[in-house]
Amino acid sequence: MNNERPSYLREIFETKEIELNMGPQHPATHGVYRAILTLDGERIVGLNSVIGYLHRGIEKWAEYRTYKQATPIFDRLDYLSAVINCHGYVGAVEKLLGVEIPKKAEYIRVICDELQRLASHLIWLGTHALDIGAMSVLFYAIREREAVVDLLEAQLGQRLLNNAYPIGGVRFDFPKGWVEVCRKFLKVFKGKIDDYEELLTGNRIWRQRTIGVGYISREDAIAWGLSGPTLRASNVFFDVRKSIPYSAYPDFDFEIPLGQNGDVYDRYLCRIKEMRQSVRIIEQALDGMPEGELKAKVSPIIRPPVGEAYFTVEGSKGQLGFYIISDGKEKPYRVHIKSPSFINLQGLDVMSRHQLIADMVALIGSIDIVLGEVDR
Amino acid sequence: MADEQNAKKGWEATGEPIITDAVQKAIEKFGSKVIPYPNPAKEATIKVEKEDLYEVLNFLKKETGFDYLSDIASAHFPQNEKHLSLAYHLFSIEKKDSLRVKVEFNEEDLIPTVSSIWPAANWMEREAYDLMGVKFENHPNLKRILLPDDWEGHPLRKEYPLGGPQEEEIRSNRYGVPSLLPDDLESAKKIIEEGKNE
């Protein structure tokens, strides 16, 4: 059977690929990200990412400051999880110095990190659901995030960009009554996660929009260097907290949720389960809080030994790494940032192949990018 | 005299080289082409020449299980004999093992791309090209990524000023002296005097 159209029809109904611009001022790209999509009908056949609108030259800037002065700029990378960014940089300097951090400081860091992870995941949950069309989740997620941010403000002094840790430990012990409030919050919050799941996990519209969308295989996910929940949804066990243990994480009993199918729905489930694990970690850390010093002894002017160090933490988006070269002087010779959002965004090309244009928004939401971190 | 020599030579990393199983395997295979490199933070590091880079990385991926490319970081050392360096941070998801591979070279040298070994290297190499001016061979799409296409220079080079090429101009404007002075000396002096009086 000949399926070809007659020549006179072919001339009229000739199909060709078209280019469609999305962003940089698109509400669903979560920042100034521009995607140039090549479309064949409704299917995406090519994706050209244009980034760099938010490039501030953080790596260059850090070379002109002393180790201590450079700390606050790294909060501006992923501005939704500033505490974890700070942990990454400070940890890299400590690794280079060879300082041992007091146990109590490590526990406080773990608690603040995990609270920040909750806050970041809640923002993701709200905006991701909003992109797909479930508006009410945003209000609930923002409500709980507000409580987390208040807790962080009480402990660290700032709500969002809180310059959380000095090199060598933490600044403050918990204020009076903080631990009780935190416990109370965690108790309530567990119920709230159930609420989100009730709204979304079994929701027919949600499942139809997300299951089977944006599939990436296990092999591809590793080869494209994805990390964080985006990688773990493809059934790869790689979480820096377990794989390259740092801080006090080996002390706690928690699981790394893995997905099976590597689609948008599994990435959603992974993050939801991760929130439950974060609650578990915080509860254990509050229970087992050791006594002791808050800060190791570090000289006022930091001059690490000549050499290099690469320290990674599990950020809310994935493996966040800091590569610092020291020339033995008081300023870092070179700071390189491995940003998880940047690498995950690269994998979007694979995930979006032959997907429907209407699913693009769900896809961008599912890899959870923050453009401040992509562009640095 | 010794100080002068040191200043010329630059500085060298402190610490001891760490020999892991993977480093041992690489040394067995490549012999003296693979040199263990000292590191103060106790991270396994090896150094290779740029001619052997692709072969060594391919071996490490296929034979020692470094299936995950964590990062490619570039650095500029104008005081050294070889001006640029790259550090490949490899990780093995099965064995939970890390390794850094370092390579040093000069500005005009072509570095083989590893995006055929790990596709993830594509954007990492574009970033190194964009900000540091490292040129890669056979890269599928070697274009600027974070900066606009018509940008001049590579900002992370040490000779590049923090405020960009226009830094001097901005500074002079801030202090009230016009940056573009007329060619003849007399009118230029006049403009500067007027600026001071204001």
Assess contact for B196 and B174: CB atoms under 8 A.
Answer: no
Strand order, beta sheet including A319-326: A307-314, A319-326, A334-338
Whether A367 is in a domain gets the answer no
CA A316 remoteness from chain centre: 3
Give the C-alpha distances (Å, rounded to integers) separating B9 from A306, B2, B77, B155: 14, 10, 11, 24
pLDDT in tens, A316-327: 898 999 999 988
Token pair recorded at residue A228 = 């964080």
Domain extent at residue A104: 58-351
pLDDT in tens, B126-138: 999 999 989 998 8
A53 interfacial to chain B (CB closer than 8 Å): no
Per-residue confidence band for B173, with pLDDT thresholds at 50, 70 and 90: low
Instruction: Write down the pLDDT at residue B182.
Output: 66
Among the residue ranges A80-89, A124-133, B10-19, B120-129, the one predicted with the least confidence is B10-19
Instruction: Write down the pLDDT at residue A120.
Output: 92
pLDDT above 60: residue B145: yes
Whether A9 is in a domain gets the answer no
Assess contact for A128 and A272: CB atoms under 8 A.
Answer: no
Q: Among all chains, which residue has been given the structure tokens 């590569």?
A: A323
Which residues in chain A are contacts of B11 at CB distance < 8 A?
Answer: 306, 327-328
Which residues in chain A are contacts of B14 at CB distance < 8 A?
Answer: 305-307
Which residues in chain A are contacts of B118 at CB distance < 8 A?
Answer: 223, 225
Q: What's the complex ipTM?
A: 0.86
Q: Which helix (H) or strand (E) holds A334?
A: strand A334-338
Residues within 8 A of A (CB atoms), B 113-152 only: 118-120, 122-124, 127, 131, 145-148
Per-residue confidence band for A3, with pLDDT thresholds at 50, 70 and 90: low
* Beta carbons of A306 and B13 less than 8 Å apart: yes
Selected for mutation to probe chain B from A241, A256, A323 (highest B CB count within 10 Å) is A323
Measure A175 CA to nearest chain B CA, in Å. Answer: 34
B165 interfacial to chain A (CB closer than 8 Å): no
Residue, of B197 and A342, whose pLDDT is higher: A342
B97 interfacial to chain A (CB closer than 8 Å): no
Per-residue confidence band for A31, with pLDDT thresholds at 50, 70 and 90: confident
pLDDT in tens, A49-108: 899 888 988 999 898 888 988 999 999 888 888 999 999 999 999 998 888 899 999 999
Whether A40 is in a domain gets the answer no
What pairing do the DSSP bridges indicate for beta strands B110-112 and B135-137? parallel
* Beta carbons of A308 and B39 less than 8 Å apart: yes
Among the residue ranges A231-240, A287-296, B155-164, B169-178, the one predicted with the least confidence is B169-178
* Beta carbons of A323 and B40 less than 8 Å apart: no
Per-residue confidence band for B82, with pLDDT thresholds at 50, 70 and 90: confident
Which residues in chain A are contacts of B13 at CB distance < 8 A?
Answer: 306-308
Distance CA A124, CA A141 (A): 9
Global pTM value: 0.86
Kindly tell me the number of DSSP H helices and DSSP E strands found in chain A.
14, 6
* Beta carbons of A60 and B124 less than 8 Å apart: no
* Beta carbons of B71 and A60 less than 8 Å apart: no
Q: For residue A162, give the CATH number of its domain.
A: 1.10.645.10
Measure B12 CA to nearest chain A CA, in Å. Answer: 7
Instruction: Write down the pLDDT at residue A4.
Output: 63
Residues whose CB is less than 8 angstroms from the CB of residue A332 and which lie 6 or more positions away in sequence, other chains included: A62, A63, A67, A70, A324, A325, A326
B14 interfacial to chain A (CB closer than 8 Å): yes
Question: Looking at the 3D structure of chain A, how many domains does it have?
Answer: 1
Measure A192 CA to nearest chain B CA, in Å. Answer: 34
* Beta carbons of B123 and A346 less than 8 Å apart: yes
Whether A163 is in a domain gets the answer yes
Assess contact for B126 and B143: CB atoms under 8 A.
Answer: yes
Whether A46 is in a domain gets the answer no
Whether A224 is in a domain gets the answer yes
Per-residue confidence band for B2, with pLDDT thresholds at 50, 70 and 90: very low
Torsion of CA A240, A246, A247, A251, to 10 degrees: 80
* Beta carbons of B70 and A338 less than 8 Å apart: yes
Assess contact for A56 and A62: CB atoms under 8 A.
Answer: no
Instruction: Write down the pLDDT at residue A1.
Output: 46
- Work out the end-to-end distance of chain B between its first and last CA atoms, rounded to an integer number of angstroms: 51
Instruction: Write down the pLDDT at residue A323.
Output: 93
By residue count, chain B amounts to 198
Residues whose CB is less than 8 angstroms from the CB of residue A9 and which lie 6 or more positions away in sequence, other chains included: none
Q: What DSSP string describes A139-198?
A: HHHHHHHHHHHHHHHHHHS-SSS-----TTB-S-PPPTTHHHHHHHHHHHHHHHHHHHHH
Measure B145 CA to nearest chain A CA, in Å. Answer: 7
Assess contact for A247 and A106: CB atoms under 8 A.
Answer: yes
Whether A13 is in a domain gets the answer no
Distance CA A245, CA A257 (A): 17
Nearest to B146 among A55, A238, A321 (CB): A55
Residues whose CB is less than 8 angstroms from the CB of residue B196 and which lie 6 or more positions away in sequence, other chains included: B176
Which residues in chain B are contacts of A61 at CB distance < 8 A?
Answer: 162
Q: Among all chains, which residue has been given the structure tokens 């146990």?
A: A103
Instruction: Write down the pLDDT at residue A116.
Output: 92
* Beta carbons of B76 and A334 less than 8 Å apart: yes
Q: What DSSP string describes chain B?
A: -HHHHHHHH-----SEE---HHHHHHHHHHGGGSEE-EETT---EEEE-TTTHHHHHHHHHHHS---EEEEEEEEE-TTSSS-EEEEEEEEETTTTEEEEEEEEE-TT-EEE--TTT-TTHHHHHHHHHHHH--EEES-TT---SSS-TT--S-TTSTTS-TT-TTHHHHHHHHTT--SS--SSHHHHHHHHHHHHH-
Selected for mutation to probe chain A from B146, B156, B167 (highest A CB count within 10 Å) is B146
Torsion of CA A131, A83, B127, B152, to 10 degrees: 100
pLDDT above 70: residue B115: yes
Whether A358 is in a domain gets the answer no
Q: Among all chains, which residue has been given the structure tokens 């690489």?
A: B26
What is the phi-psi region of residue B10: left when phi exceeds 0, alpha when psi lies from -120 to 50, beta otherwise? Answer: left
Which residues in chain B are contacts of A95 at CB distance < 8 A?
Answer: 41
